[in-house]
């Protein structure tokens, strides 16, 4: 049980670092409430699970090629830049949208999914963290334990997703329109910052190969 718990904590710590998904989820919760923020996190979680399966199936070698690395950095750059600009442009509508729930849940889900699936840092994270978990568990335990501990990591990610959605949607009730707008702008700027970082990484890969 203590081992299972430690893998849940590992899942939580994987989700916790402030990155593009967390910034977007906080912004979504403040703008559109718990459900939309939770769906965005769920989209990101789906991408995480795909990467876990990819690591398990041994797709690592394919992702290691310079072409794929450049493609993923550039794809991440465009997704984050688009989301960041959209967040800044929509900052003025925060006060209005806090009373309207017209946003599509599917769109929130797909935004989280694309943000996570196009993030090379997510790939490196899963290759490094889950790859080592996989190696250690496979050498010490059977397939049953491997599935159990993988589920524990996913459970940690789900707990974080619900927590983020709850905190951001609770903030929404406490903050003024001006503060909501400021947080939205900050979120957009941070997403653009991540996008620029991704763009620089893509150029580095291209120059080195």
pLDDT digits 0-9 by tens, 112-150 = 999 888 877 777 667 666 766 676 666 666 677 878 888
Per-residue pLDDT, 88? 83
With the C-alpha atoms ordered 191, 193, 197, 203, is the resulting torsion angle positive or negative? Answer: positive
pTM for this entry: 0.71
DSSP annotation string for 10-69: HHHHHH-S--HHHHHHHHHHHHH-HHHHHHHHHHHHHHHHHHHHHHHHTTHHHHTSHHHH
Given its phi and psi angles, is residue 86 left (phi above 0), alpha (psi -120 to 50 degrees) or beta?
alpha
Number of domains in the chain: 1
With H, G, I as helix, E, B as strand and everything else as coil, classify residue 176.
coil
Under 8 Å between Cβ of 12 and 106: no
Q: State which residues form the domain around 110.
A: 2-14+23-208
Q: Give per-residue pLDDT as tens, 16-62.
A: 655 778 888 888 888 888 999 999 999 999 998 888 888 777 765 56
Phi-psi region of 176 (alpha: psi -120 to 50; beta: other; left: phi over 0): beta
Residue 175 gets which letter from DSSP? Answer: S
Percent of the chain with pLDDT over 70: 78
Angle between helix 20-32 and 177-208 (nearest 10) = 160
């Amino acid at each position: 049980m203590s081992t299972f718990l430690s893998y849940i904590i590992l899942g939580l710590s994987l989700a916790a670092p402030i990155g593009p998904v967390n910034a977007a989820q906080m912004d979504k919760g403040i703008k559109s409430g718990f459900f939309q923020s939770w769906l965005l996190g769920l989209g990101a979680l789906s991408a995480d699970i795909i990467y876990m399966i990819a690591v398990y199936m041994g797709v690592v070698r394919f992702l290691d090629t310079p072409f794929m690395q450049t493609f993923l950095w550039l794809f991440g750059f465009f997704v984050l830049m688009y989301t960041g600009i959209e967040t800044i442009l929509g900052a003025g509508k925060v006060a209005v949208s806090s009373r309207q729930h017209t946003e599509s849940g599917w769109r929130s889900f797909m935004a989280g999914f694309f943000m996570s699936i196009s993030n090379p840092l997510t790939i490196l994270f899963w290759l490094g963290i889950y790859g080592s978990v996989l190696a250690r568990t496979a050498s010490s335990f059977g397939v049953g334990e491997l599935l159990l501990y993988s589920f524990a990591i996913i459970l940690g990610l789900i707990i974080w997703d619900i927590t983020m959605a709850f905190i951001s949607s609770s903030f929404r009730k406490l903050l003024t329109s001006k503060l909501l707008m400021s947080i939205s702008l900050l979120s957009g700027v941070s997403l653009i910052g991540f996008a620029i970082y991704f763009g620089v990484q893509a150029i580095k890969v291209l120059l080195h190969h």
